[in-house]
Chains A and B, each alone.
Chain A
Amino acid sequence: MPALVAGLTTALLLTGCAADAFDAPPTAEPIEGGTLVYATGDAEPTCLDPHVGGNYPQALISTQYLEPLVGRSPDGEILPWLATTWQASEDGLTWDLTLRDDVTFTDGTPFDAEAVKANIEHLKDPDTGSSTGWLAVQQIDTVEVVDATHVRFHLSTPKSALMEVLSQQWAAMQSPAGIARGKDENCLAPVGTGPFIVESWTPQDRVVLVRNDEYVPTNPQGHDGPAHVERVEWRFIPDAATRQAALASGEVHVIDNPLPADIAAWEGADQQHIDAPRPAASNRIELNSGQAPFDDVRVREAFIRAADPNPGIASLFHGTAERSYSVLSSVEPMRLSDESVFATDPERAAELLDEAGWTDEDGDGVREKDGAPLTVRFPVSTNQSTAAEQSLFEQIQANTGAVGFDVQLEPMDLSSWYGALAAHEYEAVSAPYTTVGPDVLRILYHSDGTIPAPSGYFANNAQLKDPELDALLESALATTDPAERADIYTQAQRIILDSYTVLPLYDQQNHFLTKGVTGVEPLTTISTPLLLNAQLLG
């Protein structure tokens, strides 16, 4: 009996405790100050400095405390940010940039040409271990400090995409004094010019950011002053259902990676939905044209004619994803989209396979040729492919199975997945690539992309080695005339689409749900959420 009373009392106390943690109904008036809580479902970064490594979780959080040299408008136009003007020489090997003179890092170090030089050198330094940022500045040989507000880049080969890749978070500007503290310390709290400052990092729990009260409004998307909220708590909640529950109960204000079903269910009902497709490439399935069976263009076309992803996309993504017929994202102005290349036609697929010599002699539903079955190994990264996407792949497996393909889906963790790709143990794969600008086509489809990095990684999963395409992509990099670039990229995309090595699915999905907060918007460079203009409601 006493135990029962004690139990009831405890339960009552606990519910009282729990109720205090939740918000009172909001009054929908934006206020100044407060703590905004952001819950991310992406992996926790191992280093808060995006120069080290360079993945999307680092970009997400560093958007709040680091700023790049330039921004980008929704039309793809480069906008001034920390750099005000930029000019390439005739031969494209020298770039002159003018920098702002009124910006200081939050540790007091002035932002000047010396700082830019220190940052570029940090990116190029092997000890930093930079991946994405290193690729961006790979062509920069030396950085010359002309004076405090003028810096000059000397390139080894022309790179018209230089400003686009410098707009990425992975090449953002940090304080040279901060970098000089050494990697261990700089990973815990990088020093930048952004609207927030890293205060503390509790591993596996949260990163706490505080407002930079001396913020100089340089962000082309910013308002005229420092951030509205006083503190940002950046929490790591890996499970999607838990994240959604935390948002619904008011424990957090913004979440990323919501499930499509949750977006459809909650949109409009006191939660706001932000749809910010990532730039550069779309989400595609690539067919390995470097080995059988997809070294035969007829077999590739057959696969594409039979795949029919549209019904799957419509049902699995609850209308949150739109089918794409382009290798470039819908936010890239120079994209070429051609629906006719990807028309579904299972009869034509069967014809093509018959023509190519693949027939089903033993009647097991899988075609063979010279004794070998029409097997398509499809490694799936469970880290990068959402549950909906994995189900989509299963539908494609069934659709292509109807014409005789034996698609073997192999879900695996990220490390094993990269291992399978490096060992060429795949016929089909979906590998997202995040960067800025149409130069991603060169990274993904130039024959140089088939040469593995020391880790074994290569980006050209389609194994395209087309000299005409190579020449086009190289000339696009060499010309700074926008009209000419657009024309060259159109021709290049034409070749890529017609090669039937790529099956575009949809834009790289990047959705956010917010509740109890307003003013959260995606950065137009890499579509990460910017909290500079955010205000809590009520």
Chain B
Amino acid sequence: MRGRSARAIPPWRTALRWVLARVGGALLVVWLVATIVFFALRSSGDPLEAILGGPGSQAGPEAVEAARREYGLDQPLVVQYLLQLWRVATLQLGDSYARRQPVADLIAEQLPGTLLLAALALAAAWALAVTGAIVSTSARGRIGAIVNATLRGIEIVATVMPGFWLGAVLILVFATSLGWFPATSQGSHPAGLVLPVLTLAVPIAGFLAQVSRDALLEADAAPFAVTARARGAGEPRVLLRHTLRHASLPALALSGWAFGNLLSGAVVVEVLFARPGLGRLLQDGALSRDVPLVIGAVTVVAVLYVAVVVLTDVVELFVDPRLRGPRPAALRAPDVAVGS
């Protein structure tokens, strides 16, 4: 199609601007996070306790003085804040107050477990959501209406279900009463992953299912779908080649948010199922005012979150060619078919 704008912008400059905007955004988020965490932790308690082996420490005056000097806590708060920022900027995450080990090591140790949980939970949520969406569009007529209503109800309940409640119920039913799965687990043993992944996935699945189904129903009734059926395409072909891509778009866009949700849900699941992971590390660190550990962990989470959002944007570009051309937003009307 000819008739592009008079000033031709080279594609690499557009890409560069896009990348710079993303990196700039990420840096902004990390700075905000570090600042908020620093002041939140410091304003609510004395980090000296964490250093001296826990709150209510009865350590003597010399021990306290030694710790104060060693950790620079005798300097003004603003100075300490700037020092902390500098350390984050130069990627020196420092040593944990309570555990006296490098924060980077602690995080590296615990991150894989949490990432495994989050990835599996996202995959499970997607599977549940797409299945639910397909089922509700396949059922037609009065049965279809009943199925639709039931699914809607289930989705709403799933979305609002608190993680600690769902996890506890799953443990009670499947671990204690039936004995099918263990109550606690670590690592990647499949049986041990089922209950924690399910606990994490269900609330996300509820949300993704709602938006997927709406998008699928909309796409199913769109002119291009009608045309495809008129040309003799069967239901599976219509689904796979045409409508499913439309249905996946809102869920894809939400996946970045969902991942962030999963990382915070991991705190509850890891504590409940006694799984080692970043969530538990964060909880322990926050409760004991372990400033370097919490800042380090939350920064890592923030960076991961931004990375996942960027990734979903890239995947969206692949799935939806309408976004790759000029004036993407205007073309993103539901009746313009993807890939037709």
Contacts and interface: CB of A to CB of B under 8 A. Distances in A.
Given A131-B52, A131-B59, A205-B186, A18 B180 contact: yes
B10 interface: no
Contact of A249 (B62, B179, B270): B179
A235 B284 CA distance: 16
Residue of A15, A205, A238 contacting most chain B CB atoms (<10 Å): A205
A130 B59 contact: yes
Interface in A1-46: 13-15, 17-19, 21-22, 39, 43-44, 46
Given A126-B63, A235-B184, A251-B183, A14 B274 contact: no
A457 B56 contact: yes
Given A46-B99, A239-B274, A415-B45, A246 B287 contact: no
Given A18-B191, A204-B277, A129 B52 contact: yes
Contacts of B61: 453-454
B148 to A, nearest CB: 22
Residue of A19, A183, A251 contacting most chain B CB atoms (<10 Å): A251
Contact of A203 (B52, B65, B109): B109
A155 interface: no
Nearest to B290: A46
A89 interface: no
Contact of B194 (A14, A21, A47, A242): A14
A453 B57 contact: yes
B133 interface: no
B58 A183 contact: no
Interface in A184-198: 184, 187
B234 interface: no
Contacts of A131: 52-54, 57-59
Contacts of A13: 190
B89 to A, nearest CB: 26
A193 B122 CA distance: 49
Sorting the interface of chain B by its residue count into under 10, 10 to 19, 20 to 34 or 35 or more gives 35 or more
A18 B180 CA distance: 6
A413 interface: yes
Contact of B59 (A184, A244, A249, A454): A454
Contact of A248 (B49, B176, B272): B176
B63 A242 contact: no
A455 interface: yes
B274 A126 contact: no
A458 B29 CA distance: 41
B92 interface: no
A452 to B, nearest CB: 10
B322 interface: no
B172 A126 contact: no
B183 A245 contact: yes
A53 B54 contact: yes
A132 B57 CA distance: 8
A86 interface: no
A53 B67 CA distance: 13
B288 interface: yes
B44 A129 contact: no
B281 interface: yes
Given A204-B280, A239-B272, A251-B182, A415 B176 contact: no
A126 B51 CA distance: 12
Interface of A: 13-15, 17-19, 21-22, 39, 43-44, 46-47, 52-55, 126-132, 134-135, 183-184, 187, 202-205, 235-239, 241-242, 244-246, 248-249, 251, 383, 413-419, 453-457, 459
10 contacts: A19-B179, A21-B182, A43-B284, A47-B99, A53-B54, A128-B63, A204-B110, A238-B271, A242-B273, A454-B61
